[in-house]
Each structure stands twice: as structure tokens, then as C-alpha cells.
Structure 1
Amino acid sequence: MLILAVLACAGAASAGEACRRIQHLGDGYIVCTFDPTVDDIQLFQNDRSGKPYGSFRALESDLRRDRVYVRFAMNGGMYLDDQSPVGLFVENGREQKPINTNKGWGNFHLLPNGIFYLLPGRAGVMESKAFVASGIKPFYATQSGPMLVVDGKLHPSFLADSTSLKIRNGVGVAANGKVVFAISDGPVRFHDFATLFRDDLNCTNALFLDGSISSLDIPEWQRRDGLFPLGPIIAVTQMLPG
């Protein structure tokens, strides 16, 4: 149990402790909360050869070469057929894909869409146009859509009686600055998923990451989804000693 011992000494809660199961409006969710002041939250897209990781297993295997352990991971935004991001993607301070403000079809273009971004010790979720106006230069960022919650208000297109039900995952930042990830156990509507973030998770801004392909990796729970190829991946990592 070397990994558990390492995490116990690190000051940050283990992913097993950071994640919990909750119920909201009769549906089940897994919610994982991390503190950007102590937890190493990163975004990943391509491996050392320049090819998309495509899976949690590939990411974990690659990072282990540098004695880096993946504590938690989730698919991190929509992607094209070649697994490249649809919109803004910043990794290690380098913008690999510019912000996408084009009109189009599908959830990404169900405006307003938004950005999940990370700066040293701080994280945020912001509507895309507001993000551009802010001048923020993130160390990590991924664009997806639609926004679930914008300044405490639900996305205007969401209907409480919608018949569009899918497994969904998303991310928000709570009032205390902690990053909150959520994935549904089964198909849910956008409206219910958004109220989870607003009403139960105390997130005034939250972003939809994807539906149907929504995937989760919690090694301590022995869960590693691998049914679908992935594009961007959000991961919480930790360096092992040695």
C-alpha cells in the first residue's frame, strides 16, 4: 500500500477521500473535490510522441515513467475526430488550440459555452467571451459547452421537463475556491445536472464537459473507464518519492 502511505503523508486528501456518492433529484452522481492550493490539477492531451493519449491507461503508464501517480482523472472537454480539442486548450502555459467562437451545431455551440482554467494555486470557470475580456493567461485551460451555471443562473436553454437524457460530466468551482468534478451514474437532463452544481455543490459557475462518452478514473476505487477514446484529460497527479 505504498501509494496510500504516500498520499497520507502528503497533506492532500487521497482521491478516495476526495470523492463521494450523492443523490440529487433522484439520480446518483459521483462528486470529487480538490483544492488547487494543494492538489496538482493538470490537463493532458498528447504523449511524448505527440499522439493523443486517448485513454486513462495510456496517461497513467506514461506518467509512471517519471514516478508520477494519477490520483483522479476525467475526460476534459469536447474533441474532434482526430481527438484534438474543439476549442481553447492550454497545457503548461502553451496555447495548443485557440478559443473557438464560431457558430455551429451541437452542445459545444449551445451558447454560452465556457472555459475551465488553472493558474498557480487557483482555478476558475468562466463564460468564453468574459474569459477573453478578462485577459487571463492560464497555465492550463480547456473550452467546452454549454455552460451549466453562469453567475448563479442556469443556462437559459435548459428545460426542467426535457426528454434529452444522457450520462453527463462537468466541472465547477465552489465558493471556497475548490474544484468540483461530477459525473452522473446514469442518464440525466441538462437542467438537473446544472441544479446539482448550483444548489448542492455551491458552484456559481459550472461547465459541461461532455455527455455519453463521460469517463472517470479513480484508481483507489478500482474504477478506470475505457469504453470510449478520449481527447483532453483532466487529472490530479502526485509525484512519488524515490
Structure 2
Amino acid sequence: MRFFIAALLLWASPAFAVDCEDRSVEGRSYTICEVDPATEDLRLFLRDQAGEIIGSFSGISDEPDVDTVLFAMNAGMYHADRAPVGHYVEDGEEIMRVIPNAGPGNFGLLPNGVFCITDDRAQVFETTRYLETAPDCRDATQSGPMLVIDGSLHPRFLPDSSSRFIRNGVGTSADGDRVVFAISNEAVTFHEFGRLFRDYLETPNALFFDGKVSRLYSRDLGRSDFGFQLGPMVAVVTTKD
């Protein structure tokens, strides 16, 4: 009888809408989360209704229309005041223009790119292609460098690099129907992180988010990373009725 009740409760419990799991790839540990943008509420978060920077995963759950945060991750580089370094659009409103030129740091290591979210899909675009095609993004965040561009690794990545950090990013299928977020659980090089998206996750385009403040929230895994306050964040949420 106890088994029957337990099974019934398990059957009745809602499944988590984001599939997150830890995986070992080439001997290194990653947490990988897959999202179906056609069925899940995937969006960006920066400021609350009062215009203040949200700054944390817990702050997302305080938004008036948010019931539950299922997944969240930092989503693009930001200045000391946590304003986006590059292009940023939220709910159709452009907060920051596209930055097309090269510059210092990882963001300016061209080619960089834009993660674009619509109501039923999400795609990573190399920045010049984003400007050429002008997709109708409900939400968008620019970061850099690109990890994978049309199936090829960023040309500046070195196989023997000694620069290792905890890194996170996002990759998408060519049609935008599949979105995969990943964070390394140990320090990795750009080349190793790019290979994860190109060879293992098989996403033809992938974008680096950060390598110093990389953090993840996953309700599925019971994980919530702490640290400095964040700028742009991407999350999957359920909304209040």
C-alpha cells in the first residue's frame, strides 16, 4: 500500500521543465541544462519594476508575475554598476545598443555574438550576422567571444592554452528549437569549453557568457551558486495565474 501511495504521489507531481544534469566530458565536469524554448518561459532579467538591478537568482522570484524559478544563469558581461557591456533587449525594449567593434577583454575578442530569444525559439547569432539579419528578438544579450561559429571553434582559441576559469555559456541548434546552457564545474580553457558545445552538445553556434562570475541556479538539482551581485540573467520561470 505504501508503494502504491508513493508511486501515485510521484506520478501526480509535476516534472521539472528544465533538464539539468552533471556530465563528464573529456575528463572534466560540467552541468548542462537543456530548455525547449517553444514550451518554457525563457527570458532575461536585469531590473525590477522600480528600476533597480535585480542582481541575484532569489531576486527573480520576487518579480510580481514569477511563481517559480526553475533555472537561472548569469547571461552576459556587465560594468561595475551591473549595466550590460553590450547589446541588451528585455521584453522588446532595447536597453543597450549593439557593440560591433573589437575591444579589450573577452567581450571584444571578435567575433562575439548575441543570444536572441523569441516567444517560441532562441538562437545564438554572430554579431555581424545579427546586424545583417535583424531578428525580431523579444529578449537579447550580447557577450563574447563566440565559442562556436557555424560549426567551427573561435579562431583565436588555442589547444594548449594555460588560461583556465570556471566558464559558462549557451549553444543553440540552427533552427533555434534547442537551447543548451552549460557551466564548467572546474576550471577549463576556451578551447575545451568550445569543444564541449561543438563536439559533445553538437550546437553549431555557441556563445560565452563569462569566466569569472559564472553561476547557476537549478531547482532540478537543488543547486544555487552564490557570489557577487549579477547583471543580466537568463531564467526559466513559471508565472502566477
* TM-score of the pair, normalised by structure 2: 0.91
Greater fraction helix: 1
Superposed CA offset, 1:21-68 (max 9, x none): 1111211000000101101100010012111111111222x13x4352
1:116 is matched by which residue type in structure 2?
F
Contact 1:175 1:202 in 2 (8 A): no
**1:22-33 equivalences in 2 (<5 Å):** 22-33=23-34
- Contact 2:114–2:124 at 8 Å: present in 1 too? yes
Q: Which residue of 1 aligns with 2:6?
A: none
Distance 1:183 1:236 in 2: 16
Aligned to 1:52: 53
Moved over 6 A (4+): none
Measure how far apart 1:213 and its partner are.
0.6
Q: Could you say which residue in structure 2 is the equivalent of 1:234?
A: 234
Residue pair 2:88, 2:96 contacting (<8 A) in 1 also: yes
Corresponding residue number in structure 1 for 2:134: 135
Could you tell which deviates more after superposition, 87-96 or 101-110?
A: 101-110
**Deviation by residue 1:86-111 (Cα, 9 ceiling, x = unmatched):** 01100001111111123321000000
Aligned to 2:43: 42
CA 79–5 in structure 1, closer or farther in 2 if over 3 Å, else same: farther
Does 222-231 or 160-169 show the bigger shift?
222-231
CA contact (8 A) 2:17 2:40 kept: no
Specify whether residues 235 and 159 from structure 1 end up closer, same or farther in structure 2 by C-alpha distance, changes over 3 A only. same
Cα shift at 1:137: 2.1
Structure 2 regions of 5+ residues with no counterpart? 1-8
2:52 aligned counterpart, secondary structure: coil
| Greater mean deviation of Cα atoms: 101-110 or 157-166 | 101-110
**2:50 counterpart SS class:** coil
Give TM-score, length-normalised by structure 1.
0.91
Q: Distance in 2 between matches of 1:147 and 1:67?
A: 31
- Residue of structure 2 equivalent to 1:171: 170
The Cα RMSD (Å) is 1.7
What residue number does 1:21 align with?
22
Match of 2:197, SS state, is helix
Say if 1:54 and 1:230, in contact at 8 Å, map to a contact too.
Answer: yes
Judged with a 3 Å threshold, the aligned counterparts in structure 2 of structure 1 residues 113 and 140 are, in CA distance, closer, same or farther, namely same
Q: Percent identity?
A: 46
Question: Counterparts in 2 of 1:141-152, with a 5 A limit?
Answer: 141-152=140-151
Equivalenced residue count is 231
